[in-house]
């Protein structure tokens, strides 16, 4: 259930919001980058983040999540090619940390999503959407790192006995 929830709610949110954030940040950087150079760097960080998240979510949806679901039916585990769920989970957690670091860099660059003096509606929208995106990603990562993955590790250990 939790895997389906994460895909339906959080992965869908990233897939819908990511391209909009990338396009909006590109527009803002092109129009306001000379006056606010940090917005050009923010755009580069958003592009990097979206690239990382797109690849990450594909790995989860095509490899890690099916393996975790297979833990409920141990006879099917061998078709997934892992000896343990620990390695793919460690990789996912590492990638979560990298995404968190990029978001922290964006938060620092924008001074906690503060608006520059005389900010236009596009900059206002970008800051609002970035903060919204960060909040959703924190919940998303929390569900995986603190609920799903520990349960998967426990199930994986139970299947060894």
Report the predicted TM-score, pTM, of the whole model to 2 decimal places: 0.89
State residue 135's pLDDT score: 97
Structure tokens belonging to residue 75: 């006879």
Q: What is the pLDDT of residues 54-67, one digit of tens each?
A: 999 999 999 999 98
Q: What are phi and psi of 89, to 5 degrees?
A: -65, -40
* Regions of the chain with pLDDT less than 70: 74-83, 158-161
State residue 156's pLDDT score: 80
Please, what sign has the CA dihedral across residues 55, 57, 62, 64?
Answer: positive
State residue 108's pLDDT score: 97
């Amino acid at each position: 259930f939790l895997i389906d929830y994460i895909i339906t709610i959080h992965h869908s949110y990233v897939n819908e919001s990511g391209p909009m954030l990338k396009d909006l940040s590109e527009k803002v950087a092109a129009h306001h980058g000379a006056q606010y150079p940090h917005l050009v760097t923010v755009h580069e960080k958003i592009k990097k983040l979206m690239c990382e998240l797109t690849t990450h979510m594909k790995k989860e949806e095509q490899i890690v999540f099916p393996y975790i679901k297979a833990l409920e039916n141990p006879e099917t585990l061998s078709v997934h090619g892992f000896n343990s769920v620990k390695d793919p989970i460690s990789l996912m957690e590492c990638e979560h940390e990298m995404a968190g670091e990029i978001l922290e860099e964006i938060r620092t660059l924008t001074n906690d999503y503060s608006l520059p003096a005389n900010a236009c509606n596009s900059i206002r929208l970008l800051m609002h959407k970035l903060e919204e995106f960060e909040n959703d990603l924190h919940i998303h990562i929390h569900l995986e790192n603190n609920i799903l993955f520990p349960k998967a590790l426990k199930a994986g250990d139970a299947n060894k006995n």
